[in-house]
């Protein structure tokens, strides 16, 4: 269905797109002409304006129109808690990233889990990334006690019974002795540790190596970097379709 969303109020779409990092206004006009842009799921026409509350999509992915949106990729070290403030005064992930603008963690990693964690001030994106219906993949490397064989791998893949219900099918491989690569799209509390416990191979060290399309071996523990516009777009694409 196509309908004009041209109106006299609100900001022109090409201006919003340009500010969001899609290139010059001219480039963004071409995107609109190429019918890659939609407002509230209706293909936008040149001249269309965006009003507060409108949903903007590029190539089918919802785009954040929050002008000062920032997303960091942090490599969380062990012994740092994933919370904005800790009553016990332990170091938090917030202490590791710039204080301004204020960001918050997307989901959480246990205190003793390391690896990639996104932090953002974009509440909409954070909600989409953590909401189970979008099922964004999270990939972990688990160093376990013992050496899981094919039967354990199969059980992990097919789903194991935990006290809060069975786990969904997971991608599981063993890249080396005592090492498991586990990809899940649920976000239950201590899920990977509990899955490994359930098959008799407790986790000794757990590292998250990917969140959706975002992975980077060059971000060292305790350091962070800003996501590029392309990475933000990829993330938005990853949450474009609910399961």
Which residues form the catalytic set? 110
Report angle CA 229, 235, 236 to the nearest 5 degrees. Answer: 90
Q: Which one, 128 or 193, has the nearer CB to ligand URA?
A: 193
Q: Which one, 211 or 235, has the nearer CB to ligand URA?
A: 211
Q: How far is the C-alpha of 94 from the C-alpha of 101, rounded, in Å?
A: 11
Task: Report in angstroms how near the CB of residue 191 gets to ligand URA at its nearest.
Answer: 4
Task: Report in angstroms how near the CB of residue 195 gets to ligand URA at its nearest.
Answer: 8
Q: Which one, 56 or 142, has the nearer CB to ligand URA?
A: 142
Distance of CA 12 to the CA centre of its chain: 29
Task: Report in angstroms how near the CB of residue 138 gets to ligand URA at its nearest.
Answer: 7
**Tokens representing 100?**
């301004």
The contact set with ligand URA (CB under 6 A) reads 109-110, 113, 190-193, 206
Task: Report in angstroms how near the CB of residue 95 gets to ligand URA at its nearest.
Answer: 18
Q: Which one, 56 or 80, has the nearer CB to ligand URA?
A: 80
**Tokens representing 152?**
């354990």
Q: How far is the C-alpha of 109 from the C-alpha of 124, rounded, in Å?
A: 20
Closest listed residue to residue 127, CA positions, set 242, 39, 20: 242
Task: Report in angstroms how near the CB of residue 81 gets to ligand URA at its nearest.
Answer: 11
Strand order in the sheet with 37-39: 42-43, 37-39, 56-58, 61-63
119 in Cβ contact with 230 (< 8 Å): no
**Tokens representing 84?**
């904005």
Cα–Cα separations (whole angstroms), residue 15 to 53, 152, 227: 17, 54, 21
Q: Which one, 25 or 205, has the nearer CB to ligand URA?
A: 205
């Amino acid at each position: 269905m196509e309908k004009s969303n041209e109106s006299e109020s609100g900001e022109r779409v090409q201006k919003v797109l340009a500010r969001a990092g899609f290139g010059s206004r001219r480039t963004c006009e071409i995107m609109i002409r190429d019918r890659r842009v939609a407002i509230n799921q209706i293909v936008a026409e040149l001249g269309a304006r965006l009003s507060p509350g409108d949903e903007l999509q590029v190539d089918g992915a919802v785009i954040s129109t929050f002008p000062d949106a920032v997303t960091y990729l942090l490599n969380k070290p062990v012994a740092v808690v994933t919370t904005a403030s800790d009553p016990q005064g332990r170091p938090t992930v917030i202490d590791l990233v710039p204080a301004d603008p204020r960001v918050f963690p997307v989901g959480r990693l246990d205190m003793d889990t390391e690896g990639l964690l996104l932090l953002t001030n974009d509440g909409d994106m954070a909600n989409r990334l953590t909401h189970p219906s979008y099922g964004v993949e999270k990939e972990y490397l688990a160093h376990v006690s013992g050496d899981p064989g094919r039967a354990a791998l199969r059980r992990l893949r097919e789903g194991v019974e935990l006290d809060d219900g069975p786990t969904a099918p997971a991608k599981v491989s063993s890249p080396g002795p005592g090492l498991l690569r586990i990809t899940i799209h649920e976000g239950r509390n201590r899920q990977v540790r509990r899955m490994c416990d359930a098959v008799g191979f407790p986790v000794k060290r757990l590292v998250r190596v990917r969140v959706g399309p975002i992975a980077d071996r060059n971000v060292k523990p305790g350091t962070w970097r800003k996501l590029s516009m392309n990475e933000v777009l990829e993330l938005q694409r990853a949450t474009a379709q609910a399961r």
